[in-house]
Structure 1
C-alpha cells in the first residue's frame, strides 16, 4: 500500500502537489510520540471521541472497550502507530522512485512500455533495496516497541494480546525486579535482530537483486 501511494505521488504532474503530499505525510511525525499516544488513549476511552462519534451516528452496537477487549486491543494499538510508519514508508519509496534515472524511463517509453509495465518491470525491481530497508525497520520497531503499548495498555493487556518484547523486558527489569532475566531478554532481542538483518542483507545484496550497472 505505501508503494502504491508513492507511485501516485510520483506520477503527479504538479510539483506543488507532490510537495504538499510529502509535507502531509511528515506532519504526523512532528508531534511527539508520547503526546500522540496520550491523545489516542483518550480517544479510545469510554468517554472518548470515538465512542461519542459512534453514539451520535446511531451505531451504539459498534461501541467497544477498544483497549480492554482481546478482539480489538491489538488492532487499536496498531492503528495508532500506522500514520508514523505509513508516512515514512511512503517517503522512502518515493525517494527510491525519484532516484531512478530519467534515461531509463525515457528508454522504456520509447520501447512502448506502458505505465503498468514500467511499474512492474522498472519501478519495482529498482526499489527492492528500499523494501529491504523498510522491512528491517518494521521488524526492529515491532521488537523494540515499548512506549506506545505502555501508554495505551500499561501492561500489554488484555492478557498478553498487546505484549511486545520491549515491554516484556521492562516489566521483568523494573516491575518484577528480575534484572538478570531482563538482560537475557534484551540480549536475545539483539541477537535476533542482528541475525535477521544480516540474513536479509545477504539475501537482497546478491547480484540477483542488484540494479544493473552501465558498462562502458
Structure 2
C-alpha cells in the first residue's frame, strides 16, 4: 500500500476495471441494470484512508466520537489534536448516525464520523438497518457539504464483528440507490485494508454495478 497521498483521480474506476477485464461478470444476473455513468463514479482501493485526498472520508467511529482503535484511532492520530477538540463539541452520535468535522491535518477536507452497529446474529435485520443508515447518512452529509469525492472505510467489519460479505452487500446497494438520484457525488471510493476484503468487494460489486460486458443488462426481482 502506498504511503503517499492519493487522489481519487489516481484510482481506477469500475468502468476502467471492466474495460481492462480486471473484474469478472457476476455469476448470476445482476440486481441492477448496467449504467456506465455510475461505473465511472465507483472505485475500490486497497490503501490507507488517511492518505486519501477526498472531499470527505468516512470514519468508523464509536458513539463518543472521541477516537478509539483501528481506523478510528488512525484517523484521529493523522488529523491531529484539533479533531478531538471539535469532536468534543458534537455530543456523540447514535448508531447509524453521522456527524461531520473538518479534516485538519488529513489530506481529506472533511471527515464523516458514522457509528456502525455491533453485529448481532440474533437481530441481524436491525444490524442491517443500522449499517445501511451509516452509508445513507454519510452520503447525505457529503451531498449537504457540496458533494465531490467520498472515501468509505469498511464500517463495522472489524471489532464490531459484521460479516464482510453481508456488510459489502449493504454498502453497495445503499450506494447504488443513492447515486441513481444524486448527481453531486462524483466518486465513491471503497477503501479496504486487506487483499481478502478487496477480493470480496470485487466479487460482489458486479451485482450492483454491472459492466457493459455482463451477461444481462436488466435488473430482476430477488
- TM-score bracket for this pair, using the shorter chain length: under 0.3
Q: Whose relative contact order is higher, 1 or 2, with alpha carbons under 8 Å and at least 6 apart? A: 2
Q: Going by fraction, where is helix more abundant, 1 or 2?
A: 1
TM-score, normalised via structure 1 length? 0.26
Larger Rg, first or second structure (1 or 2): 1
**Of Structure 1 and Structure 2, which has the larger fraction of its residues in strand?**
2
Q: Taking structure 2 as the reference length, what is the TM-score of the superposition?
A: 0.25
